């Protein structure tokens, strides 16, 4: 399934970092769900439930980190912090809303807090790796794949590294780069 990408605004007014982050958060959610569809098509067991939201959360954290690196190239320090904070916050809201809607078991605010905590933990780990004009380096993509591996059933752990590094990460980064390039250029 192709994900529709919004890479520019039709009107020319200036957007706040929160508005830009909202666009990227929606795209990221779509990219994560699309990745699950491809993974299920490749016979990975990602059922609706805890493992689904763990997978989505790891995927979104990867995209938050990548978006922050792209923002580093395009925005000044203050705008970058505002954008990345708004992005992580918006993604946390989306994860919480969807988990509550699908599973109904979440304590209000708990899923949101878990997501923000995961962003902070993973952000420190991703900081060890490079992200340049060509995208995330091998270590960055490998770390992403290992995070996904940790949330999948035992039978899928062996193969997810290749799938995540060679298919999922490049497809998501391509869409993210295109969208951010367009909206940052307009901003």
Q: Minimum mean pLDDT among 16-25, 32-41, 98-107: which range?
A: 98-107
The reported pLDDT for the residue numbered 29 is 92
The reported pLDDT for the residue numbered 1 is 45
What is the C-alpha separation between 51 and 54, in angstroms, rounded?
5
Q: Is the pLDDT confidence value at 157 over 90?
A: no
| Within-domain flag for 11 | no
| Within-domain flag for 10 | no
Q: What are the pLDDT digits (tens) for 9-28?
A: 555 666 688 888 898 999 99
Domain span at 166: 17-36+46-186
What is the C-alpha separation between 118 and 113, in angstroms, rounded?
8
Q: What is the mean pLDDT of residues 132-159?
A: 91
| Within-domain flag for 6 | no
pTM: 0.89
Average pLDDT of every residue of the chain: 86
| Within-domain flag for 108 | yes
Q: Where are the alpha helices (DSSP H) in 42-75?
A: 50-74
Q: What are the pLDDT digits (tens) for 37-76?
A: 998 888 888 888 788 888 999 999 999 999 999 999 988 8
| Within-domain flag for 3 | no
How would you classify residue 39: left for phi > 0, otherwise alpha for psi between -120 and 50, otherwise beta?
alpha
How many domains, the chain?
Answer: 1
| Within-domain flag for 58 | yes
| Within-domain flag for 88 | yes
Pick the residue with more confidence: 158 or 128? 128
| Within-domain flag for 57 | yes
The reported pLDDT for the residue numbered 106 is 63
Q: Does residue 141 contact residue 164 with C-beta atoms inside 8 Å?
A: yes
């Amino acid at each position: 399934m192709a994900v529709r990408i919004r890479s520019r605004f039709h009107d020319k007014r200036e957007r706040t970092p929160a508005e830009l982050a909202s666009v990227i958060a929606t795209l990221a959610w779509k990219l994560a769900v699309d990745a699950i569809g491809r993974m299920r098509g490749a016979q990975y067991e990602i059922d609706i439930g805890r493992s689904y939201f763990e997978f989505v959360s790891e995927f979104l954290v990867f995209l938050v980190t990548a978006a922050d690196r792209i923002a580093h190239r395009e925005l000044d320090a203050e705008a970058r912090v505002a954008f990345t904070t708004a992005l992580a916050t918006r993604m946390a809201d989306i994860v919480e809303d969807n988990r509550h809607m699908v599973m109904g078991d979440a304590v209000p605010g708990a899923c949101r807090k878990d997501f923000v905590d995961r962003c902070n933990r993973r952000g420190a780990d991703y900081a060890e790796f490079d992200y340049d004009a060509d995208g995330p380096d091998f270590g960055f993509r490998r770390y992403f794949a290992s995070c996904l591996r940790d949330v999948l059933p035992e039978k899928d752990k062996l193969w997810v590294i290749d799938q995540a590094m060679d298919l999922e990460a490049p497809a998501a980064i391509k869409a993210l780069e295109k969208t951010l390039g367009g909206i940052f250029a307009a901003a």
